[in-house]
């Protein structure tokens, strides 16, 4: 019988309909599209799946190491609170791998700019995700595009977004 991590992995890849994801795709899909958990917890899930050998990482690509089609995934599966709590417990105490303190995430600043411009947070993030997917650009780039389209002055954020995207 598969454990919850195997079910979670199978549900993720079966829902996405792909057998290969990038790290960014994994995190964004788990946190923003499926709304299973926050992005930092999605990163912890990714590291846990890799650490347990359920998923492999080759370059920037992630592949399941189990036959996801053979796992019986419950309808409308969501990870249990226990799994999410264990991910949070495992992630606490060690710094995030991507953020070294020198390059804080620019996304919260873009969301705040959207709020200041009169946009609703949820609608803005949803629109950013749609534009990001449709145009195959990073979420931050999509956010800048949407804000500029709405007349917000984002020139002072352009270099930060560029640095954030190029640092990946």
pLDDT at 92: 58
Confidence of residue 91 (pLDDT cuts 50, 70, 90): low
For the cut 90, the answer to whether the pLDDT of residue 13 exceeds it is yes
Residue of 2, 1, 80 lying closest to 41 (CA atoms): 80
What sign does the CA torsion over 145, 130, 164, 87 have? positive
User: Strand ranges (DSSP E) for 35-167?
Assistant: 55-58, 61-64
Give first-to-last CA distance, the chain, whole Å. 37
Confidence of residue 102 (pLDDT cuts 50, 70, 90): very low
CATH 1.10.10 region(s) of the chain? 4-91
What is the CATH number that goes with domain 4-91?
1.10.10
For the cut 80, the answer to whether the pLDDT of residue 95 exceeds it is no
Say how many CA atoms lie within 13 Å of 138 toward its Cβ.
17
The model's pLDDT over 39-64, given as tens digits with 9 standing for 90+, comes to 889 999 999 999 888 999 988 899 99
């Amino acid at each position: 019988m598969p454990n919850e991590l195997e079910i979670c992995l199978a549900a993720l890849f079966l829902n996405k309909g792909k057998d290969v994801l990038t790290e960014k795709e994994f995190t964004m899909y788990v946190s923003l599209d499926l709304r299973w958990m926050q992005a930092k917890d999605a990163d912890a899930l990714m590291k846990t799946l890799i650490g347990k050998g359920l998923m492999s990482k080759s370059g920037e690509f992630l592949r399941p190491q189990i036959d996801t089609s053979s796992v019986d995934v419950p309808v409308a599966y969501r990870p249990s609170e226990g799994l999410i709590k264990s991910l949070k417990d495992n992630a606490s105490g060690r710094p995030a791998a991507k953020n070294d303190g020198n390059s804080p995430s620019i996304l919260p600043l873009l969301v705040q700019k959207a709020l200041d411009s009169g946009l609703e947070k949820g609608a803005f993030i949803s629109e950013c995700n749609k534009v990001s997917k449709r145009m195959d650009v990073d979420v931050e780039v999509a956010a800048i595009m949407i804000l500029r389209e709405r007349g917000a002055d984002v020139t002072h954020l352009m270099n930060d977004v560029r640095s954030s995207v190029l640092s990946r």
